[in-house]
Amino acid sequence: MTMKNLGRATGYSESYVSKVEAAKHPPSLKFVTGADRALATGGMLERQFERILVGDYPKGFLPYIELQQRARRIENYSNTFIVGMFQTKEYAQAVFDANVPRLPDEQIDGMIAARMRGLDLLDRPSAPLVWVVVHETCLRTVVGDRGLMARQLDHLTRMAKLPGVTIQVLPFSAGTPPHYLAYTLLEFEKEPTLLHVDGYREGRRYDDSELVVGAAQRYDHLRAMALSPAISLRWIAEAAEEFRDEPDSRAAVGQIQLQRLGRPLVRRGGPRIRPLGRRGSRSGQ
C-alpha cells in the first residue's frame, strides 16, 4: 500500500505518513488503529504502540490517552501542577522525583515518555480544542529550581499561542475556587462527555450525567473568575521573567538569617528581590 493510500485510509495526509515512516514524527493512536485496519495486522501495530507510548505507566492510563485522542474538546483545571500535556520533560521529571515514596526509575521514564506525547494531540488534522484554567499556584510553586520554572513557563506561553489552545490564569485575588481538585472534561463527537478527576494514585473517570453537568457548571465559574486569555498570557510571561531575574529564595533566606545574627551583609549585584505574591492586589479583569 502506498503512503498516499494509507493516509486516505487513516484520515491523514501523505506527508504525515511519510514523517511517521521516517521516525520524524510519533504516530497518534488514531493513525495506528487506522493502519491496523487498513493493513489487516490483527492489532499488532496498536500493541507495539502501547509498549512504546506507555512503557511502565500505571495501569489504566492508556485508556485516558485513548480518550484524549478521540476527544473533540478538552477542558482542564490545574490547581497544583501545570497540566501534563503542557509539561516540559524536566518539569515532569522534577514532579515525579518529588513523589513519596519514589517510584522506580523505569516507571518514571515510562510516565515521562507518555506525557511527552501529549503534544501529538495538537499536531493532527482533527486536533481537539483545548481550554485550560491554571491556578496561580501552578505559576508560583518552584518545581525543581527557578531556572527550570522559567523554562516551563516559557513553554506554557508558547502552548497558549497555538491554534485551538486557550489558557486562563485563576489569580489568588479571585478568592476560593468552586472546586478543590484538578479535573478534566472530555467532550466527544458522538459519545457522552466524561469527567476525569485526579486522584491519589491515579485519576478516576465518571460518565454520570449529574456529575458531568456539575463539573461543567463549576468550569464555567472558573473561567468567569479567571483572567482573560490575553492578560493570562502576559502573567505567565512575567512570571517566567521573575524566575529568571530573582535569585534562588534559599540564598535570600540565608541573607536574612545573617542580618538577624548581626553580621555584616555583603550586598551583591543583581536585581532586587520582589515578593512573588505581589500580583495579588491586581484586578482580575
Helix, strand, coil distribution of the chain in percent, nearest 5: 55, 10, 35
Architecture of the domain defined by 71-244 = 2-Layer Sandwich (3.30)
For residue 170, which phi and psi values (nearest 5 degrees)? Answer: -95, 105
Q: What is the pLDDT of residue 143?
A: 95
Domain ranges of the chain: 1-54, 71-244
Residue range 72-94: average pLDDT? Answer: 94
- The gap from C-alpha 104 to its chain's centroid, in whole angstroms, comes to 22
Output the pTM of the full model.
0.67
Q: What H or E segment, with its residue span, contains residue 185?
A: strand 183-187
Report residue 71 as a C-alpha cell: 476527544
Q: Do domains 1-54 and 71-244 have the same CATH topology?
A: no
Q: Give CA–CA dist 279/277, Å, rounded.
A: 5
Does CATH place domain 1-54 in 1.10.260?
yes
Confidence grade of residue 157 (pLDDT, cut at 50, 70, 90): very high
pLDDT in tens, 214-245: 999 999 999 999 999 999 999 999 999 999 98
Judged by DSSP in three states, 273 sits in coil
- Condensed to tens digits (0 to 9), the pLDDT of residues 11-65 reads 888 888 887 787 556 677 678 888 888 888 887 877 666 555 444 445 445 567 7
Mean pLDDT (the chain) is 80
Strand pairing partners for 131?
Answer: 75, 166
Taking the C-alpha atoms of residue 37 and residue 152, their distance in angstroms, rounded to an integer, is 39
> What was the pLDDT predicted at 183?
94
Q: Hey, is 161 helix, strand or coil?
A: coil
